[in-house]
Amino acid sequence: MKLRKLFPKLLLVLVAFCVLLFLLSPIIAVVGGSFNDGGYFAFPPKSVSLRQYRAALTNKEHLESLAASLKVATYSTVVASLLCVPACVALAKTSNPIVNKVKTLFMAPIFLPGIVWAVGLLQCMGFLRIQGSLAILICVHTVIVTPYMIRIVGASMDNFNYTLEDAAASLGAPPLTTFFRITLPNIMSGIVVGMVFSFMISFSDVVITLFVSSSSFTTFPVRVYAAMRTEGLDPMVLAYSAIIIVVVLSISILGEKFAHWSKHFSTML
Amino acid sequence: MLELKNISKSYKQHRVLDDVNLTVNDGEMVALLGPSGSGKTTILRLIAGFLENDSGAILVDGVDIASIPSYKRNIGVVFQDYALFPHMTVEQNVAFGLKMHKVGSAEIKERLDAALRLVGLEDYKSRYPSQLSGGQQQRVAIARVVAIRAKVMLLDEPLSNLDAKLRRQVRVELRELQQKLDITTLIVTHDQEEAMTMGDRIAILNDGYIQQIGDGMQLYKKPVNRFVAGFLGTPSINFLPLTVAPGIARLSKIDIGLSELESGLGITLEPNEYELGVRPEDFSIVPDSPIKSKVKLVERLGAETLVYFEIDNRVCCCRANMGNIPTQDDEISLSIDYTSTPVFDSKSGICLNNR
Amino acid sequence: MFRAKYNKMDAMLIPLALLFFIFFVIPFIMLLYNSFLTYTGKVEPGLPITVQNYIKFFKDSYYPAVIGRTFYISIVTTLMVTVLAYPLAYFMAGIKGYLKTIMLVLVTLPLISGVMVQNMGMYGMMTNYGTINLFLMALHIIEEPVQLLGNNIAVIIGLTQGFLPFMILPVMNALQAIPENVLQASESLGANKVRQFLHITLPMSFGGCIAGAVLVFGASLSSYTTPTILGRGKCQVIGTVVYQQAMQLFNWPFASSIAMLLLLLILLIVPITKILSRRRREGGVL
């Protein structure tokens, strides 16, 4: 009797575990494979060493593209938050129905296929004879991350109690002071989560950057992608990826613990 | 002194306030009482400056503040949900207004301590609002207003977020505090008991009109119209249709003496349709009278007993004398004390014998 | 005065709107325009204006086959994702505390560590001496390494893995939104666990499944990196053809017209799913 009750539960746990294993298998393979001592991919590793890490940390080209990626992600995140926070305030307070249509536009990069947009961008740049540069990539990545920023910051604006602004005004605070001392501190966690998200989204983008970047300026995922497409998998790249995974994992643990950010993820999907 | 003169306000096509006039004297507490949707919160938001009036003037000590932005008005508001800043401690919440008014740091400390002492929260300085009970949060909200020495205090349904028992206690405390501070106060509420116990005067609002202003007993005893009579009092007043023809008065199809009625009401009634408002205590159960009915329900509430009966298919309620309580299905006769009943024109609802 | 204040607020949208206009709206306009231009052999497309690019797409038997393959891959991926994600989402909806936090972190990890890392791991495992072949050989299921990369199956597996979180999170949310007392009510009315699942849980989580399916299907249709890496050039889908035409053959008008067709397909999905979920709400059978 007890077994009959327990069996479906055990089956569920088993199936769930298998799916989770499948979902995480590439990550496990990348992290595990990064410790392999040899010029090829092997997971489980044949013999363990830090050879890939040593090679990775001395490869100038990869480090340069990694630096470019970090730059693009940082700048686009900062620009996006500077543009999106005021936009979210305006969206939250507007009584103008046309303005709400603009919100749909800001969300569009999530829903419209990136490759279609990328081809359009490529042709615009070709038409104007512009090469992909840091500035162009920052602008494009700002557009990529805007929907995430708008959703997350917008959600924390929705949760904000606007009576607090009235209270501040009744206590003598002018509108701008009210925004910086009352509104901003209360939506700050949303902004931070949005920024971290934006950074990751920008950092890992391949498709659009592939079309926009030039041979003289490209990001890390695009360089890795290009190499993998033509030459196969260079095990040195695994070391970088493993580091990225560890960083992402620690940030997600902190994010989940302090900001429940899977909730933000769910609102986005 | 706070004066509202001919205030009107519309949202889109809808008229929310129509020619509102109201004066709150120095140190007085006026309760603005009305059902939800009557426009009372709109009045409060207009005074605080969160909304702008379409026409009329809002005067504080004789100066029209209607064109001054809210943050320069120096009007303290205690919000329904208290609106404490969740990211600030009690101390920071109270000091916020002082900083905004550019008060020096030594004086901030002094006024902060004084305000917190007044509401009895000296020991809670470094707590966050989430660590306080509802009553304590409300006191912080009041301390915030006290600290900035607001000219006028507005209370928006201040007791509605407290449980019933606490509400009675806070009601008394709030009233004492207001009297001690001697601050001109307007309290918005939908609870008549709250208005009756706290307000020096009560303004009754309905459909954007101020129906009547006066002290509680005056409103209860001498309502100007049917709405005020019906709105105040629990159980509510019984309205009975009254038809007057030459020499005859019929109350709910029962013949009663016209001259007796007129002398009680103190006015002469032209032949017409009226409504008589009978408070539950104005009925008395007597051995014999033309008004007869059968008891439907008896409610024993301890201090008083309510008897429900029907007159011409209208359920009425009366407060029974302690000695003379009927039981269910008893046949009873009732008399009415016409000297204290208001009579209303059945069309306009205006009270005719309001002396 | 207050109305004026709000209009001033609306102005704070202008910088972002301007950025979107230049870098998002104009590219789509450019795309539409170029899709009607003529390929000149050089990078710059030229006049006359023509619909040849669209006609070419449907005339040549190669491209409809690409569309067919893309649809096949997308449909199978969506079904696989739904079947695999549901039990995990069901499990996650029923847990609390630390275990839940850990699960949420793990499920979102592939999403935020990026498609490149996922493809890299999948690629590594699927090579001739990769994890899967070694595993199968160790079990003596196969004696020689099997070619796993470079076919539709590899791409489907890669896409399924990458898009699983898109389904897990909405389904989990839908399942969590089912009020406890609805389940208790059904139990008190005599429904056993199986009936309860079929008649209450499954229909009430249908919205989450649809939401997830739209995301997965749309993303699969426009996928590009995974088919390239795991397909090794042998699995041409709409995305890879667009890339080829734009970046390798420099036939921008043709690339634009294919991209426009893809956009049209994606835009068609939304109303279809709306009709689906409406019919569901009205109690119609799917």
Interatomic CA distance for residues C162 and C153, integer angstroms: 14
Q: How many domains does chain A have?
A: 1
Return the SS3 of B68. Answer: coil
Of A47-61, A109-123, C38-52, C147-161, the one with minimum mean pLDDT is: C38-52
- Sign of torsion, CA A51 A54 A57 A62? negative
- Contact call for A163 and B81, based on CB within 8 A: yes
Of A16, A51, A9, A18, give the one whose Cα is nearest residue A34: A51
> Does residue A258 sit within a domain?
no
Q: Tell whether the model's pLDDT for residue A267 goes beyond 70.
A: no
Q: Tell whether the model's pLDDT for residue B245 goes beyond 50.
A: yes
- Six-digit token string for A152: 């997350």
Interatomic CA distance for residues A67 and B260, integer angstroms: 101
Looking at residue A263, its pLDDT comes to 67
All residues of chain C having their beta carbon less than 8 Å from the beta carbon of residue A205 are 114
Q: Tell whether the model's pLDDT for residue C81 goes beyond 90.
A: yes
All residues of chain A having their beta carbon less than 8 Å from the beta carbon of residue C11 are 90
Interatomic CA distance for residues C232 and B218, integer angstroms: 91
All residues of chain A having their beta carbon less than 8 Å from the beta carbon of residue B49 are 169-170
Chain C residues with at least one Cβ partner in B under 8 Å:
1-2
Q: CATH code at A83?
A: 1.10.3720.10
Residue of A nearest to C20 (CA): A143
Q: Is the CB of A189 inside 8 Å of chain B's CB atoms? A: no
Chain A: give the shortest CA distance to residue B138, in Å: 13
Average pLDDT rounded to a whole number, residues B258-286: 88
Q: In this structure, what DSSP letter does residue C285 have?
A: -
The DSSP annotation for A100-118 comes to: HHHHHHHHHHHHS-HHHHH
Mean pLDDT for all residues in chain B: 89
Of all residues in chain A, the percent with pLDDT exceeding 90 is 35
Average pLDDT rounded to a whole number, residues A169-186: 92
- Contact call for C130 and A253, based on CB within 8 A: no
- Contact call for C43 and A126, based on CB within 8 A: yes
Interatomic CA distance for residues A170 and C140, integer angstroms: 79
Interatomic CA distance for residues C202 and B308, integer angstroms: 53
Looking at residue C285, its pLDDT comes to 36
Average pLDDT rounded to a whole number, residues C218-226: 90
User: Beta strands B14-24 and B2-11: pairing type?
Assistant: antiparallel
All residues of chain A having their beta carbon less than 8 Å from the beta carbon of residue C117 are 26-27, 30, 204, 241, 244-245
Average pLDDT rounded to a whole number, residues A61-84: 92
Chain C: give the shortest CA distance to residue A253, in Å: 6
All residues of chain C having their beta carbon less than 8 Å from the beta carbon of residue B51 are 2
Chain A: give the shortest CA distance to residue C70, in Å: 14
All residues of chain A having their beta carbon less than 8 Å from the beta carbon of residue C248 are none
- Sign of torsion, CA C132 C137 C140 C141? positive
Backbone torsions φ then ψ of B345, nearest 5 degrees: -65, 130
Helix (H), strand (E) at residue C47: none
Interatomic CA distance for residues B125 and B218, integer angstroms: 43
Q: How confident is the model at residue B322 (pLDDT cuts 50, 70, 90)?
A: low
> Does residue C276 contact residue C286 with C-beta atoms inside 8 Å?
yes
> Does residue A48 sit within a domain?
no
May I ask the CATH class of domain C60-283?
A: mainly alpha
Query: What are the residues facing B78 on neighbouring strands?
Result: B155
Instruction: Read off the pLDDT of residues A231-256 as tens digits, 9 standing for 90 and up.
Output: 888 888 888 899 999 998 998 888 77
- Contact call for C130 and A43, based on CB within 8 A: yes
> Does residue A263 sit within a domain?
no
Q: Tell whether the model's pLDDT for residue B11 goes beyond 70.
A: yes
Average pLDDT rounded to a whole number, residues C258-277: 81
> Does residue A189 sit within a domain?
yes
Domain that holds residue A113: 78-215
C-alpha to C-alpha distances, B322 to B278, B280, B288, B307, C255, nearest whole angstrom: 20, 14, 19, 12, 95
All residues of chain B having their beta carbon less than 8 Å from the beta carbon of residue C2 are 51-52
Of B330, A108, A180, give the one whose Cα is nearest residue C266: A108
Q: How many alpha carbons lie under 13 Å from residue A89 in its C-beta half-sphere?
A: 25
Looking at residue C277, its pLDDT comes to 64
Looking at residue B160, its pLDDT comes to 83
Instruction: Read off the pLDDT of residues B14-32 as tens digits, 9 standing for 90 and up.
Output: 888 888 899 999 999 999 9
Q: How confident is the model at residue C4 (pLDDT cuts 50, 70, 90)?
A: very low
Q: Omega into A8 within 30° of 0, i.e. cis?
A: no
Residue of C nearest to B51 (CA): C2
Q: How confident is the model at residue A265 (pLDDT cuts 50, 70, 90)?
A: low
- Of chain C, the end-to-end C-alpha distance in Å amounts to 53
Looking at residue A98, its pLDDT comes to 80
> Which residue type is seen at B50?
F
* Count of all residues that appear for chain C in the document: 286
**Shortest CB distance from C27 goes to which of A83, A121, A205?**
A121
Of B192, B199, B133, give the one whose Cα is nearest residue B166: B133
Average pLDDT rounded to a whole number, residues C121-135: 87
Q: Tell whether the model's pLDDT for residue A193 goes beyond 80.
A: yes
Average pLDDT rounded to a whole number, residues A66-81: 94
Q: How confident is the model at residue A2 (pLDDT cuts 50, 70, 90)?
A: low
- Six-digit token string for B318: 């009366």
Most B CBs within 10 Å, among C2, C5, C6, C8, to test the B interface: C2
Looking at residue C161, its pLDDT comes to 95
Residue of A nearest to B86 (CA): A186
**Shortest CB distance from A269 goes to which of C129, C170, C229?**
C170
Q: Is the CB of B65 inside 8 Å of chain C's CB atoms? A: no
Interatomic CA distance for residues B98 and B112, integer angstroms: 8
Instruction: Read off the pLDDT of residues B135-151 as tens digits, 9 standing for 90 and up.
Output: 899 889 999 998 998 88
User: Beta strands B184-189 and B29-33: pairing type?
Assistant: parallel
Average pLDDT rounded to a whole number, residues B183-205: 91
Looking at residue C278, its pLDDT comes to 61
